[in-house]
Amino acid sequence: VILAVTLNPAIDVTYYLDRIVRHSGLRVDRVLERPGGKGVNVARVAASCGADVGATGLAGGHRGERLRAGLAGYRIRDEFCPIEGETRQTVNIVETGQAGLPTELREPGPAVTQAEWDRFVARFPALAAGADVVTMSGSLPPGVPAGAYATLTAATRSVSTARVIVDTGGEALRLACAAGPDLVKPNEDELLAATGASKGDRLHRVLDGASALRDLGAAAVVVSLGRSGSVAVTPDGRWRASHDAVTGGNPVGAGDALVAGLALSAAGQPMGGQPAGGWAAALSRASGLAMASVLATSAGEVDPAAAERFAAGIRIREIRGRDR
Ligand SMILES: Nc1ncnc2c1ncn2[C@@H]1O[C@H](COP(=O)(O)OP(=O)(O)OP(=O)(O)O)[C@@H](O)[C@H]1O
Ligand SMILES: [Mg+2]
């Protein structure tokens, strides 16, 4: 079982229109609405690969209800906890007559009270106890303490041998590392912001930053580098995954697909061991899913057959010795 945590989920609303003209009324051709937020994307990708997946976090109001009701359609078990505040929405505007990325409006999310957070923390161990892997993704809503992922990592440790994977940035990432998660997955910006690593060329900066997060307490670090692939720094060695760029798709949520792939490989593996088939196999599978998610137009949606084709073409190189 993979349990995907999203403390600040969203209803994703996508507007399709020809192009944005500021200060004018615009005709929308099509509107699409679906459950969203980083952990929900992780859950959706893992479920589409056939995994047994539950999603939890904080959801409230009418949007919270719609979000929870929408999970079943993706074969995701709803384990969300209710809160008073209204779940946020994220508006994406896709300009069909223009090249380039969508315009995204990201709301901060509802304020969470101390009592609501305490209730979630009290309920969480029962959920984590049934999981092989717990993923924790995204920003924290106002009112949730910066140490939230550290708290949930410790809570997971107290009830199970589940793998913990954390995908966030800033102070939440630094504090989470100190609780000893099995894996953290920052992108390059998140890594550099959290560690201040700034010396040398790109690979050396990334290796230094990843080592800094391991020094804080994360067992393994996978740094995603957008179209340039990723770097894994683990207790078993260091690897560089590279592949061709996918052009014309939507890279938003590729990191979530990468996390889903890493979670799939971690599921069912013994505590402290390598992922199924080793790190190289895990990186290939996860990178294939990430590339397939770029190809798909909306975040968290992948074609598993395309992902397998991409995975077969991922180049993995071990980074040896003092090459850092
Ligand atoms: N344009 C692209 N072409 C091919 N692969 C890509 C592209 N963009 C991203 N990827 C793949 O997806 C992985 C994750 O991407 P990225 O580093 O952009 O994650 P991210 O910034 O965390 O994204 P998000 O938070 O939106 O999910 C990369 O390691 C890479 O394998
Ligand atoms: Mg990300």
Tell me what pLDDT residue 271 has. 67
* pLDDT exceeds 70 at position 121: yes
Q: What residues are paired with 2 via a beta bridge? A: 53, 133
Positive or negative: CA dihedral 246, 249, 251, 253: negative
Nearest to 186 by CA among 161, 162, 163, 205: 205
Among 42, 258, 289, 302, the mutation site with the greatest number of ligand 1 atoms within 8 A of its Cβ is 258
CA separation for the pair 230, 191 (Å, rounded)? 12
Q: How far is the CA of 225 from the centre of ligand 1 (A)?
A: 7
Query: Which residues are near ligand 1 (CB < 6 Å)?
Result: 187, 224-227, 229-230, 245-246, 251-256, 258, 287, 290-291, 294
At 323, the pLDDT band (50, 70, 90 cuts) reads low
Tell me what pLDDT residue 268 has. 72
Tell me the pLDDT of the chain averaged across its residues: 94
Neighbour count for residue 323 (Cβ, 10 Å) = 11
Average of pLDDT values for 291-317? 91
* pLDDT exceeds 80 at position 165: yes
Q: How far is CA 42 from CA 4, 56, 263, 284, in A?
A: 7, 12, 9, 17
Contact 64, 141 (CB under 8 A): no
Encode pLDDT of 230-264 as tens digits.
999 999 999 999 999 998 788 889 999 999 999 99
Q: Whose CA is nearest to atom 6 of ligand 1?
A: 227
Contact 233, 221 (CB under 8 A): yes
Kindly give the pairing relationship between strand 237-242 and strand 10-17: unpaired
* pLDDT exceeds 60 at position 320: yes
Q: Whose CA is nearest to atom 30 of ligand 1?
A: 229
Tell me what pLDDT residue 200 has. 79
Active site members:
256
* pLDDT exceeds 70 at position 279: yes
Ligand number nearest to the C-alpha of 224: 1
Average of pLDDT values for 121-137? 97
Contact 187, 223 (CB under 8 A): yes
Q: Side chain identity at 113, as an amino acid letter?
A: T
Encode pLDDT of 168-200 as tens digits.
999 999 999 999 999 999 999 999 999 987 777
Q: Where are the beta strands (DSSP E) in 210-295?
A: 220-224, 230-234, 237-242
